[in-house]
Copies of this chain bind each other. A is one copy, B any other.
Amino acid sequence: MKVAGTSAPPETAPTASRPGLRELKKQRTRDLLLRSALELFTERGYEETTVDDVAEAADVSQRTFFRYFASKEDAAFFAARLAEARFVDAVHARPPEEAPLDALRQALAASWDTIGEAVEQVVPLELHMRFYRVIESTPALLAAHLRRATELEERIARVVADREGLDIDRDPRPRVVVAVFGAVMRVTERIWSGRDDTGLAALRDLTATYLDQVSPALTGNWRHTET
């Protein structure tokens, strides 16, 4: 077995090629483990759930859990990794004429559906959405989430730099736009997770609203430009 090690979704690739009883069982165990984890995390809380609890819920030993996921945290972000990958793809797909910030925004708009599909293949989308609240309210998970977001930003900054034909180590602008975009996204997530409607649609709409606030927020005189 070579699954764990930040358990990359790519492992899931040769699904249709040659099922095989072995692969099938592995996949089923992983999905069960994943579901059990997210359910326990959202019901009982992340810190309050031990890896033993998750393993037991999936009828495997704790050791096996760690063979599928590099860490407790790794399991928590498995679905998020799928979503990220879709977004990166969407950015790649944007026409090069678009201004960077527009490209990011359009890529996001275009990703929502594919992200939903991707997540749903592994775990109920609704569960995944509810789990975001747990992330926001659990310091350890929030920290991990932010670090992951930063890494994602770095990857995207490189894509943007390529699009514009810039050397990312010489021109700060790619990293800056992406960082700004990411910052707004995170503020949005935070607000969204604190609200009642944790549906994907609500997040999508809120994101659009907040992105509209970037320019207004950066220019001076606020006092006479009330929302």
Q: A residues near B, CB below 8 A?
A: 99-102, 139, 142-144, 146-147, 150, 164-166, 170-177, 179-180, 182-184, 186-187, 191, 209-210, 213-223, 226-227
Specify which chain B residues have a CB less than 8 angstroms from the CB of A184 in the assembled complex: 176, 179-180
Contacting pair A210 B99 (CB below 8 A):
no
Q: Which residue of B lies closest to A210 (CB)?
A: B172
CA distance A178 to B143 in the complex (A): 19
Contacting pair B218 A177 (CB below 8 A):
yes
Interface-central residue, A144, A214, A222, by most chain B CB under 10 Å: A222
Known A-B contacts: A143-B146, A172-B227, A179-B183. Give 17 more (CB < 8 A). Answer: A99-B221, A100-B217, A139-B147, A143-B143, A143-B144, A165-B223, A171-B227, A172-B191, A172-B217, A173-B216, A174-B217, A175-B191, A176-B210, A179-B186, A179-B187, A180-B183, A180-B184
CA distance A218 to B55 in the complex (A): 47
Quick one: copies of this chain in the complex?
Answer: 2
CA distance A138 to B164 in the complex (A): 31
Contacting pair A99 B220 (CB below 8 A):
yes
> Distance (Å) between the CB of A161 and the closest chain B CB?
10
CA distance A213 to B180 in the complex (A): 11
10 nearest A-B pairs in the assembled complex, by CB-CB distance = A99-B220, A179-B183, A146-B146, A143-B147, A143-B143, A183-B183, A173-B217, A176-B217, A177-B217, A175-B187
> Distance (Å) between the CB of A184 and the closest chain B CB?
6
Specify which chain B residues have a CB less than 8 angstroms from the CB of A165 in the assembled complex: 223
7 chain-A/chain-B pairs, Cβ below 8 angstroms: A99-B222, A102-B220, A142-B150, A165-B223, A173-B217, A173-B227, A214-B218
